[in-house]
C-alpha cells in the first residue's frame, strides 16, 4: 500500500485544471446525491417493505440497490480526493519553480549584473515572508484534515475503530431535515476556486519569468519592472491562498462524506442482522448482503490509505517549499544588507 498513491498517479494523466474541475464537481455532486438516496433507502424504503408491508422480495432488491449505491459513493469520493491531491501536487511544483526563479534572480543581482538591486531584493524578501506564512497555515490545515477526518475513517474500517466517534456519525443525516444540509455542501464553488488558483499561478509564473528575462536582457526600464515584479508577487500570494484554502475545504468535505457513508453502512449492517435475528428476513441472503457491506468498508479503507499517502506527500512538498522560502528570505536579507553597506560606503566617499 506504500506505493498506492504513486502507482495510481502513474496510471492517471493530469488533464489540466478545466477537466479536473469538471471531474471534481461531477464526483462531488453525485456523491451527495447518492448519499441522500442511500439514506432514503436505508431509513425509509427498506424498513417500510420489511416492517409494514412484509414485502421481503422487494426489500431484498432494495438492499442490493443500496449496496450498489454505496459502492458508487465510495468510488466517487475516492476519485474526487485523489484528483484534488493530484492538482495540489502540480500546484506545489509550480510554487517550487517560482522559488527557483527568485533564487536565480538574487544570484544575478549579487553578481552585479543589474541596477536597482536593493528594490528587487526587498521585493524578494517580502515575498518569501508571505510564502512562509502561507505554507505554515497550509501545513496546519493539512494536518487537521489528516488527524480529524482521514484518520477516523481509516480507524473505523479497522478492528477497534473509534466507536464513540462513529456512534455520533451514525446518528447524522437520519432525518430528512438533516440530510437536506448535504445538498448545501459547496463543492462546485471550492472546485472552481481551486481551478482559478491553479490557472492564476500558471499565468503568474509565466509573467515572473518573462519579467526576469527582460531584466537580464536590459530591454525595459528597471524601475518599471520592479513595480511589475511587486504586482506579480502579490498575485502569486492571492492565488496560493485561493488554492490552499480550496484544497483544504474540498478534502475536508470529501472525508466528511466518507464518515457519513461509513455511518450509514454501520446502521444498515445493524438493521440487517436485527431483521435476521427477528426472522423478518431470510438468513442466507441478508447475511450475504452484510458481507458485501464489510467488503465496501474494506474498499473505503484501501482508498483512504492511498489518500493518506498522497496527503503525506503534499505535507512533504509544502515543507520543502517552506525550507526554500526560508533559505531565500535569509539570503535576500543578507544580500540587501550587503548592498546597503556598499551604498553607504559610496555615499561616505562623496
- Inform me whether the pLDDT recorded for 258 exceeds 90: no
**pTM for the model:** 0.78
Q: What is the phi/psi pair of residue 53, to 5°?
A: -100, -10
Residue 203 pLDDT: 93
Count Cβ atoms within 10 A of the Cβ of residue 26 and give its class: 0-12 exposed, 13-18 middle, 19 or more buried: middle
Confidence grade of residue 270 (pLDDT, cut at 50, 70, 90):
confident
Q: What is the mean pLDDT of residues 326-337?
A: 88
- What pLDDT score was predicted for residue 1? 40
Q: What is the arithmetic mean of pLDDT over 229-251?
A: 88
Given this model, what pLDDT does residue 327 score? 92
Q: Please say if the pLDDT value at position 53 is more than 80.
A: no
Q: What is the mean pLDDT of the chain?
A: 78
Mean pLDDT in residue range 97-113: 85
Residue 271's pLDDT is 73
Give the rounded percent of residues in the chain with a pLDDT score beyond 70: 74
Residue 2's pLDDT is what? 41
Q: Which domain holds residue 230?
A: 4-349
- Out of 6-15, 81-90, 170-179, 259-268, the most confident range is 81-90
Please give the Cα distance from 258 to 264 (Å, whole number). Answer: 10
pLDDT of residue 171: 56
Domains in the chain, number: 1
Q: Best-predicted range by mean pLDDT among 5-19, 154-168, 183-197, 311-325?
A: 311-325
d(CA 200, CA 196): 6
Looking at 43-47, 76-80, 169-173, 333-337, which range is the least confident one? 169-173
Q: Is the pLDDT of residue 307 over 80?
A: yes
Q: Which residue has the higher pLDDT, 114 or 220?
A: 220
Q: What pLDDT is recorded for position 29?
A: 82
Rounded to an integer, the average pLDDT of 133-147 is 82
Q: What is the pLDDT of residue 114?
A: 60
Amino acid at each position: 500500500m506504500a506505493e498506492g498513491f504513486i502507482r495510481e498517479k502513474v496510471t492517471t494523466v493530469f488533464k489540466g485544471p478545466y477537466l479536473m474541475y469538471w471531474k471534481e464537481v461531477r464526483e462531488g455532486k453525485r456523491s451527495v446525491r447518492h448519499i441522500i438516496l442511500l439514506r432514503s433507502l436505508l431509513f425509509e424504503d427498506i424498513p417500510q417493505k420489511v416492517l409494514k408491508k412484509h414485502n421481503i422480495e422487494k426489500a431484498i432488491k432494495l438492499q442490493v440497490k443500496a449496496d450498489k449505491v454505496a459502492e458508487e459513493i465510495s468510488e466517487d469520493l475516492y476519485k474526487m480526493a485523489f484528483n484534488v491531491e493530484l492538482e495540489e501536487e502540480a500546484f506545489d511544483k509550480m510554487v517550487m519553480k517560482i522559488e527557483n526563479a527568485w533564487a536565480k534572480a538574487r544570484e544575478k543581482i549579487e553578481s552585479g549584473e543589474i541596477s536597482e538591486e536593493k528594490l528587487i531584493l526587498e521585493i524578494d524578501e517580502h515575498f518569501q515572508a508571505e510564502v512562509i506564512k502561507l505554507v505554515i497555515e497550509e501545513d496546519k490545515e493539512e494536518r487537521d484534515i489528516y488527524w480529524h477526518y482521514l484518520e477516523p475513517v481509516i480507524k473505523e474500517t479497522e478492528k477497534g475503530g473509534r466507536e464513540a466517534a462513529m456512534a455520533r456519525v451514525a446518528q447524522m443525516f437520519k432525518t430528512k431535515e438533516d440530510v437536506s444540509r448535504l445538498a448545501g455542501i459547496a463543492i462546485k464553488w471550492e472546485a472552481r476556486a481551486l481551478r482559478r488558483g491553479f490557472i492564476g499561478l500558471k499565468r503568474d509564473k509565466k509573467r515572473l519569468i518573462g519579467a526576469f528575462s527582460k531584466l537580464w536582457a536590459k530591454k525595459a526600464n528597471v524601475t518599471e519592472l520592479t513595480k511589475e515584479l511587486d504586482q506579480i508577487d502579490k498575485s502569486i500570494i492571492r492565488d496560493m491562498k485561493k488554492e490552499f484554502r480550496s484544497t483544504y475545504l474540498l478534502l475536508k468535505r470529501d472525508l466528511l462524506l466518507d464518515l457519513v457513508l461509513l455511518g450509514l453502512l454501520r446502521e444498515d449492517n445493524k438493521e440487517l442482522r436485527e431483521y435476521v435475528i427477528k426472522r423478518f428476513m431470510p438468513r442466507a441472503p441478508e447475511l450475504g448482503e452484510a458481507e458485501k457491506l464489510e467488503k465496501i468498508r474494506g474498499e473505503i479503507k484501501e482508498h483512504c490509505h492511498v489518500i493518506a499517502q498522497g496527503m503525506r506527500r503534499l505535507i512533504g512538498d509544502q515543507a520543502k517549499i517552506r525550507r526554500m522560502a526560508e533559505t531565500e528570505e535569509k539570503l535576500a536579507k543578507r544580500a540587501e544588507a550587503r548592498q546597503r553597506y556598499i551604498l553607504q560606503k559610496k555615499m561616505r566617499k562623496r
